[in-house]
Structure 1
Amino acid sequence: MKRQAIFVLAFVTAFVGNTAARADSLASALTSAYNNPGLLEQNRALLRAADEDVAQSVAATRPVIAWSASADRSGTNATGEWVRTNSATLSISGSLTLYDGGVNRLAIDAQKEVVLSTRQTLRGIEQTVLLNAVQAYMAVVREREFVRLRESNVRVITQEFRAAQDRFEVGEVTRTDVALAEARLAAARSLLAAAQGSLAQSVESYRLAIGRAPGAVTAVSPAPVSQSVAEAKAFAVRNNPSVLEGQHSVAAAELSIRRAEATLKPTVTLDGFLATDEDSDESAQIGLSVGSTIYAGGQISSQIRQLRANRDASRAGLHLTQLSIEQEVGNAYASLQVARASRQASDQQISAARVAFEGVREEATLGSRTTLDVLNAEQELLDAEANRISAQADEVIASYALLSAMGLLTAEHLRLPVQQYDPTEYYNLAKNAPTYDSEQGEALDRVLEALGRE
């Protein structure tokens, strides 16, 4: 059983150690996370789909031109003989809405607001990806430090155990002291195995968030945050992607109401066609049609009421989002202050605990302290060092969480060396609803082909 445990520890250590050959800064990890295909690519595609809704709304304001061709063969038998007749017709028709009360124009404006809302959703996803990367990076930093600390702890307690054995052999301590040291050594080895397991799990989380295994991670300083909590909250309410997304959703809901109300107005349509048959006889027609709905069983009125209810829900949701963002900023700010204070206190605790441990160990060699006193002093030093490691990681994570709540955890603000995705590039090509054979349509095809190869 003991040999099996040693084999498992060796395997975990080798697994973790193989990832540490390459230097890996937080900036490089964030860069990899941004470029890692997955959540960002999915939401960029959803944004392009929303861009196409604008193009389709624009297309609804343009003429619809269609052609048709038919060929028939018929026969009659009125005199006892079949008389067969062949006919063929080729026609082209067109239709254009001249006036619809603003329905189509309001549809375009509403879809534009949806696009702006979806852009903010993508921006929020970008922040989520980068914050997940920060958390994964700091988890690896923390767990590697814990493993290092536990390894050092095992070495120290092994020395204490051997010293207790030597003192027992010369009659300075009892068997109880040796047993205490042996039990503490077994516990230290167990905690080392647990720390190595946690590190292996952190490596897997890192791989998921960033797209590759971690290298030799380096120490990280907290992100600079100079605003007070009140200033941070005010800035977040103006800049957080969730708030801006909600504002555009409310605007889109307002336009949808106006569009539904506009359907009650009359519609004017221009229609025409040109046809020719097998005898080259031609016919043509052009005309205007005007009409509106008089009664639809209450459907339109119900739709308007429904859209107003949805608008009210969007407004309430926006208010709740603002409150949630303010709370998120306050929580992140409080976590940052707590982690900072904890780190400072841990530094002082470590300094005092180290002096105490060295003093107790020296006194034990003189016979005025027991083995248990030495082990307890070493445990206090270990706990202090572990608290500092956790506080340092928590401080970094809280600082970046505060940036995220303020809407600043983006590749642009962090100045990451990446090719940033421009959400307007595809929109500008697609918004006018180009056809396949147009210059813009061909440009869109090239963009989509390039995205498919990435």
Structure 2
Amino acid sequence: MSRAQRVLLFACLLPSSVFCAPSVERAELMAVYRQAVSHNSDLAAARADYAAQQELVPQARANLLPVISTGATFEATRLSRDEPGLERVRSGNTIQANLKQPLVNAAFWYEFKAAKASIVQAALELSAKEQALILQTAQAYFETLRATDELAASEAEEIALKQQMDQAQARLKGGLSSITDVLDAQSAFDNAQANRQLAQRKVEDAFEQLAHLTNLEYASIEGMQHQLPVLAPIPNDTKSWVEGAVEQNLMLLASNYAVEAAEERVRQRQSGHAPTVDAVASYRKGDNDSFGYSNPTDFGRNGYRGNVAQSSVAVEVSVPLYSGGRVSSQAHEAYQRLTQSEELRESQRREVVLNTRNYFRAVNSDIQQIKARRQTILSSQKSLKASKVGADVGTRNTVDVLNAQRQLFRSVRDYNDARYDYILNTLRLKQAAGTLSANDLQKLAEYLKADYEPQRDFLPPELM
């Protein structure tokens, strides 16, 4: 039973209240990404938040449009006097319609402009979250590959050191070595076993991260071919990348619109002192009693009791004079929020510049590291071979062979670390510059090996 099958079986044997994710055989980069897009809760929440934010514009626009209302009144009034037999009942029905159209209201207009800026900000933040999921997928995928390759190297190292320990024991029995050589070999083997167990746990943790991201359990993963092109950033110039990042980074662009929205809200709050002008129209229709045209004590005995219609059109001007200091306080609050937005934008800009420069240097360093680590593997292989020959003729001892063995596998791990660092730092550089897309994952997927086996493929074929 494979590792992933054991994990899945254990999970499914838990109480029914514990969720058991479905299982698939092999992880593939683009399939993992599509699954993450479909099942990522953070992205779903961000989309819901954006949909809610979109409602700010129609809500703000509503303040600039007419408000129309209608209603009806039905009433009955009974009046009695002290005079014998004098009691009257009056009933009345009225229907009415009112229209109010803002003509001049600066606060409503600035609120509308602030809402539009907030929508653009929300759209950019959603795009940034979608972009972040691309990087998150790549990190989960390639960290899993890193862990599987490290496990393969640890297993190979454990086997090699087991052979060294067996040889030392055989030499001891033949009188060709001392107990010290056996103990040194045993110590190296024990350490390799511990490293392999730690590497096994890292693999399981990495697959769990994939399951968390996609809601699927994977039994294995497609690996990256060693023929993946290792290319310098284009253009290979820090200044160009920084300038592009300042212009295109999604979160930095969103912070620009956050400042714009805050500026409009300052104007909105300051407009609380400005006069407003509204056009008002009304229409009423009802019987005479309802309008109160007859003597209420006579209940229309001497007056007209037919239907009456009334309409009016007016322009209302309102000038705020004093509201307890509320308007001034709200304006001051909005100004401080604007200052906050400007400072956050500056902080975001500095972070973008810092990350872009760091990732640019990291990518170029990773390229050099890949070349150097590959050469180190070749040198370590030669050193190990020479140490073994020297041990056979007596010019080297067991410790020399063990050290050469460990150095070889340390070089292997460093080589694979450099490969995966190069891939991830390239994607991080593109995210900082605002150009990362799913197409970048697709290009990487073209170099995946469907029949990848870590024990066989953790090193290039020419170095095996």
Cα offset, 1:55, TM superposition = 0.8
User: C-alpha distance in 2, partners of 1:203/1:78?
Assistant: 92
Cα offset, 1:390, TM superposition = 1.1
- CA 1:239–1:415 in structure 2 vs 1: closer, same or farther (change >3 Å)? farther
Cα offset, 1:122, TM superposition = 1.2
Q: 1:12·1:196 contact (CA, 8 Å) conserved in 2?
A: no
Q: 2:40·2:213 contact (CA, 8 Å) conserved in 1?
A: no
Q: 1:223·1:400 contact (CA, 8 Å) conserved in 2?
A: no
Cα offset, 1:195, TM superposition = 0.4
- CA 1:73–1:17 in structure 2 vs 1: closer, same or farther (change >3 Å)? closer
- CA 1:17–1:364 in structure 2 vs 1: closer, same or farther (change >3 Å)? farther
- Check if 1:156 corresponds to 2:160: yes
Structure 2: 5+ residue stretches without partners: 10-22, 288-305, 444-464
User: C-alpha distance in 2, partners of 1:223/1:90?
Assistant: 78
Task: Report the TM-score when normalising by structure 1.
Answer: 0.81
Give the partner amino acid of 2:282. Answer: F
CA-to-aligned-CA distance 1:79-104 (integer Å, 9 cap, x gap):
4777554444332222211222x332
Q: What's the counterpart of residue 262 of structure 1?
A: 271
User: C-alpha distance in 2, partners of 1:17/1:197?
Assistant: 15
User: C-alpha distance in 1, partners of 2:416/2:211?
Assistant: 22
Structure 1: 5+ residue stretches without partners: 1-9, 417-454
User: C-alpha distance in 2, partners of 1:223/1:46?
Assistant: 39
Q: What's the counterpart of residue 330 of structure 2?
A: 303
- Check if 1:189 corresponds to 2:198: no
Residue 129 (structure 1) aligned to one of 133, 154, 159: 133
Q: 1:172·1:367 contact (CA, 8 Å) conserved in 2?
A: no
Matches within 5 A, 1:196-207: 196-207=200-211
Q: What's the counterpart of residue 417 of structure 2?
A: 390
User: C-alpha distance in 2, partners of 1:110/1:20?
Assistant: 48
User: C-alpha distance in 1, partners of 2:102/2:144?
Assistant: 62
Matches within 5 A, 1:374-389: 374-389=401-416
Give the partner amino acid of 2:270. Answer: E
Matches within 5 A, 1:276-295: 276-277=285-286, 280-295=307-322
Q: 1:154·1:189 contact (CA, 8 Å) conserved in 2?
A: yes
Residue 219 (structure 1) aligned to one of 212, 215, 224: 224
Q: Which has the larger radius of gyration?
A: 2
Q: What's the counterpart of residue 178 of structure 2?
A: 174
Q: 1:117·1:245 contact (CA, 8 Å) conserved in 2?
A: yes
Give the partner amino acid of 1:67. Answer: T
Which SS does the other structure have where 2:360 is aligned? helix
- CA 1:65–1:252 in structure 2 vs 1: closer, same or farther (change >3 Å)? same
- CA 1:109–1:13 in structure 2 vs 1: closer, same or farther (change >3 Å)? closer
Cα offset, 1:199, TM superposition = 0.9
Matches within 5 A, 1:23-422: 24-25=28-29, 27-79=30-82, 83-100=88-105, 102-214=106-218, 215-219=220-224, 221=228, 225-227=233-235, 228-277=237-286, 280-411=307-438
- Equivalent pairs counted in the alignment come to 405
User: C-alpha distance in 1, partners of 2:7/2:386?
Assistant: 36
- CA 1:224–1:31 in structure 2 vs 1: closer, same or farther (change >3 Å)? farther
CA-to-aligned-CA distance 1:220-276 (integer Å, 9 cap, x gap):
646872121111001000000122112112222222233333333322212233333
Q: 1:129·1:209 contact (CA, 8 Å) conserved in 2?
A: no
CA-to-aligned-CA distance 1:405-451 (integer Å, 9 cap, x gap):
101113367679xxxxxxxxxxxxxxxxxxxxxxxxxxxxxxxxxxx
User: C-alpha distance in 2, partners of 1:390/1:412?
Assistant: 24
Q: What's the counterpart of residue 445 of structure 1?
A: none
Q: 1:126·1:410 contact (CA, 8 Å) conserved in 2?
A: no
- CA 1:336–1:294 in structure 2 vs 1: closer, same or farther (change >3 Å)? same
CA-to-aligned-CA distance 1:298-322 (integer Å, 9 cap, x gap):
3323333333333233233322322
Give the partner amino acid of 1:343. Answer: I
Cα offset, 1:192, TM superposition = 0.8
Q: 1:93·1:272 contact (CA, 8 Å) conserved in 2?
A: yes
294-303 vs 111-120, greater mean Cα deviation: 294-303
Which SS does the other structure have where 1:272 is aligned? strand
User: C-alpha distance in 2, partners of 1:52/1:195?
Assistant: 50
Cα offset, 1:194, TM superposition = 0.6
Which SS does the other structure have where 1:172 is aligned? coil
Which SS does the other structure have where 1:93 is aligned? strand
- CA 1:384–1:117 in structure 2 vs 1: closer, same or farther (change >3 Å)? same
Cα offset, 1:136, TM superposition = 1.0
User: C-alpha distance in 2, partners of 1:388/1:209?
Assistant: 27
User: C-alpha distance in 1, partners of 2:368/2:394?
Assistant: 38
Cα offset, 1:11, TM superposition = 7.2
Cα offset, 1:23, TM superposition = 5.1
User: C-alpha distance in 2, partners of 1:157/1:111?
Assistant: 67
Cα offset, 1:372, TM superposition = 2.4
Task: Report the TM-score when normalising by structure 2.
Answer: 0.79
Which SS does the other structure have where 1:22 is aligned? strand
